[in-house]
Amino acid sequence: MIPDSEKPAAFELRFVEVEVRSALDADGKPVRRVEGTAAPYNAKTKIRTWGGYEFEESLLPGVFGETLRSGADVRLLLEHDSRSLLARSKAGNLRLRDTAGGLEFEADLPDTQLARDVLENIRAKNYPGMSFGFVPKDMIRSYEDNGRLRSVAHKAATLNEISIVSLPAYTRTSVALRSILQAAPPVDPAEALKLRARLARLGA
């Protein structure tokens, strides 16, 4: 776990408890392929801020549309470890698909010991979900009367990676608030002034 910090995190990680499945061929035999939902849409999650309170976060449908349209190289990792690369979109062995319910993925894994271990652990249900790494770009925010953030609905974000994970834990949640508040700053000067005031109060 990365320690608490007031420094904004441009790169955010989120865990989602969803089913990761190993695929079967036409004869019902296991193949070196995994599939599932990397990021569900409209699923509200509580995020703890560095100030100790919580706000509600969700992803709107199509939030990663720009990443998918641009053909960006998204990686599939194990436990967010870049040394444990399982597939990537540029290689054609990781395929991402935008659906009404969320961002779905399908990956053909290499014939390596790591991939074989991952498949066996998925079949044994030792990996309960996925995590995704993204950079917030545009969002809808709402605030309490006291200026605290109530909710964030991400409209656009850059997806960098998805990861198969074993533990349902958030990373850098304590700095999520400032990262989200400072991403996609409002154009309206009056709104920008209110935002700076909120940050000042929260940092006091």
- Which of 42, 118, 53 minimizes the C-alpha distance to 85? 118
Write a three-state SS string for the chain. Answer: CCCCCCCCCCCEEEEECCCEEEEECCCCCEEEEEEEEEEECCCCEEEECCCCCEEEEEECCCCCHHHHHHCCCCEEEECCEEEEEEEEHHHCCEEEEECCCEEEEEEECCCCHHHHHHHHHHHCCCCCEEEEEEEEEEEEEEECCCCCEEEEEEEEEEEEEEEEECCCCCCCHHHHHHHHHHCCCCCCHHHHHHHHHHHHHHHC
The predicted structure's pLDDT at residue 153: 93
Residue 98 binned pLDDT confidence (cut-offs 50, 70, 90): very high
The reported pTM is 0.71
- Whether the CB-CB separation of 143 and 152 falls below 8 Å is answered with no
What are 139-192's pLDDT values in tens digits? 999 988 888 888 999 999 999 999 888 875 443 332 334 444 445 444 455 555
Give the highest mean pLDDT range of 19-23, 127-131, 170-174, 195-199. Answer: 127-131
Lowest mean pLDDT among 7-11, 12-16, 129-133, 134-138: 7-11
The predicted structure's pLDDT at residue 97: 94
What are 101-125's pLDDT values in tens digits? 899 999 999 989 999 998 888 888 8
Write a three-state SS string for 169-199. Answer: CCCCHHHHHHHHHHCCCCCCHHHHHHHHHHH
Q: Which two tokens stand for residue 8?
A: 């904004």
Domain boundaries, the chain: 12-203
